[in-house]
Structure 1
Amino acid sequence: MMPRFAANLSLLFTEYPLPQRFAAAAAAGFDAVEIQFPYDYPAALLRTAADEAGVRIILINLPAGDLMTGGCGLASHPARGAAFRDALAQGVDYAQQLGVAMVNVLAGRFDAAHEPQQTWQTLADNLALTAATLAPLGVRVTCEAINDKDMPGFVVTTPAQLAQLLAQCGHDNAWMQLDIYHLARMQIDIAGALRDNFAKIGHIQFADHPGRGEPGSGELPLRQIFDLLDDLGYTGWCAAEYRPGKATAQTLAWLAHDK
């Protein structure tokens, strides 16, 4: 047994334009893919490419404003409520057209102009709104803990904070997204985090550490971590979200080994 693996098409197979990455992922042995931000392409075009390749799109992120260019993003910013609701509408439209199972809400960075408590409450309210909006569509909503070394000022950096957020959100369609790389970057006990939060883990991503490269490029015992997930009874997806050190197809020895 091994977890079900998906390919993150925003980082893998970038030798090709996004619409061609679906076929490349299928040829490499993936049954499912995720995309960080699919919004530069028409949803219908991406859905057709996925269907023709025979892969499922399992997850996308909501639009996150200026987050990826160093800004605060949308989800936790008290003054960007209208922009967040617009992003939610676009994300819901893409989620339905692409047939995804999950939508991830990126928390964003603290803004010095607002108190942390206000930032947290805004994030909890927006996460609850997203969870309630997508629940009738059968789409799970996740929120991710991201390390503050790669993304300084990020609002949610640990599983403990994520658990606090979910409690504050108070909606049963809000789940944790844990990335093994981010846990390692924060020097968090990975096995302990997976065990302690297992009941609320909705999605898992991974890359090796240090370097965020493919499995085997760093020091993480990823096979042992995958074995632990099996032992815990994890039935969700594990998405490969690493930065290949060479052409993606040349970095997939781990996938062939684990099938």
Structure 2
Amino acid sequence: MPRFAANLTMMYTEHAFLDRFAAAAKDGFKAVEFLFPYEYPVVEIKARLADNGLTQALFNTPPGDWADGERGIASLPGREQEFRRGIDTALEYATAIGNKKLHVMAGLIAVGQPRDKHRAVYLDNLDYAAKAARSHGITIVIEPINTRDIPGFFLNRQDDAQAVCGEVGAPNLQVQFDIYHCQIVEGDVSVKLKRDMARPNAGIGHIQIAGVPERHEPSIGELNYPYLFQLIDTLGYDGWIGCEYRPKAGTSEGLDWLSPYLPT
């Protein structure tokens, strides 16, 4: 049976952020994820998780200047020290709240910039992040993101992400397989899930879902998610599946799709 984590950055936005934990638990979620916790004291996040019986499935390491349009700094030359400080901060939060997976965003690359140089920085930074996280029992994940939602994002395809993980060679570096992004960029989702779940040295560390193309509930759009959920179960994935979508109307009102997967 698949296990779902509510993404509190995109879901329950009708509530203040710290109130979204209780709203998700009330609807039957047992885990949550979100982009960034850093504007809130770690004790506040920890208390909301504990009070509502929730597991923290995932959050992102600091992304640079998000408000100014940055979308990660892991592949940006000259930002290495800032990246390392961000890893330290993320690990402080993760260890305090019991979070076991951290998403590192690659960042943007403009047309004409040296891709090889960005890739070398990316590999070095991921090696640092994975080594720093390993002693805490934490896995680093990287995510291919479509360039329609984030133009210029450095990492776009599943096979490229798997190649990066293989080259770094860290046992706690894996790919975050976002089905929404994969369908937009390359499709053939089922075949890629089967291929990458079977990889011995990298594989899939986290899965996220959303309807395609509007990024609403997984029951809306061109993908047959009940089939994909059954396939994911068959492949032996036992991690959380992050619901990183924008509800078409109210969050709770759009959760009919979740009912078959809640414990009875």
TM over 0.5: yes
Moved over 2 A (4+): 66-73, 111-114
Question: Are the structure 2 counterparts of residues 182 and 150 from structure 1 closer, same or farther at C-alpha, using a change threshold of 3 Å?
Answer: same
- State the SS of the aligned residue for 2:133: helix
**Equivalent in the alignment of 2:229:** 226
Corresponding letter in the other structure for 1:80? R
**Equivalent in the alignment of 1:246:** 249
Corresponding letter in the other structure for 1:82? Q
Distance in 2 separating the partners of 1:223 and 1:8: 19
Q: Gaps (5+ residues) in structure 2?
A: none
Corresponding letter in the other structure for 1:102? K
- Indicate if the aligned counterparts of 2:84 and 2:129 stay in contact, CA closer than 8 A: no
Does residue 71 of the first structure (1) align with residue 74 of the second (2)? no
Distance in 2 separating the partners of 1:72 and 1:246: 27
Q: Provide the aligned length of Structure 1 versus Structure 2.
A: 258
- Indicate if the aligned counterparts of 1:147 and 1:157 stay in contact, CA closer than 8 A: yes
Q: TM-score, normalised by structure 2?
A: 0.94
- Indicate if the aligned counterparts of 1:72 and 1:111 stay in contact, CA closer than 8 A: no
How far 1:72 moved relative to its partner?
Answer: 5.7
Does residue 215 of the first structure (1) align with residue 237 of the second (2)? no
Per-residue CA deviation, residues 180-216 of structure 1 (Å, 9 max, x unaligned), is 1001111321001101111310000000101000022
Corresponding letter in the other structure for 1:138? G
Corresponding letter in the other structure for 2:181? H
Does residue 185 of the first structure (1) align with residue 198 of the second (2)? no
**Equivalent in the alignment of 1:171:** 170
**Equivalent in the alignment of 1:127:** 126
Distance in 1 separating the partners of 2:100 and 2:44: 18
Per-residue CA deviation, residues 72-101 of structure 1 (Å, 9 max, x unaligned), is 631110111111111111111111112101
Distance in 2 separating the partners of 1:253 and 1:83: 43
Corresponding letter in the other structure for 2:87? L
Per-residue CA deviation, residues 217-258 of structure 1 (Å, 9 max, x unaligned), is 212101100000011111111111100011100011011123
- State the SS of the aligned residue for 2:176: strand
How far 1:31 moved relative to its partner?
Answer: 0.4
- Indicate if the aligned counterparts of 1:145 and 1:156 stay in contact, CA closer than 8 A: yes
How far 1:67 moved relative to its partner?
Answer: 4.8
Does residue 39 of the first structure (1) align with residue 38 of the second (2)? yes
Per-residue CA deviation, residues 21-53 of structure 1 (Å, 9 max, x unaligned), is 111110000000011111111111111011001
**Equivalent in the alignment of 1:104:** 103
How far 1:15 moved relative to its partner?
Answer: 1.0
- Indicate if the aligned counterparts of 2:7 and 2:34 stay in contact, CA closer than 8 A: yes
**Equivalent in the alignment of 1:235:** 238
**Equivalent in the alignment of 2:4:** 5
Distance in 2 separating the partners of 1:163 and 1:82: 25
Cα root mean square deviation, aligned? 1.4
Distance in 1 separating the partners of 2:68 and 2:147: 15
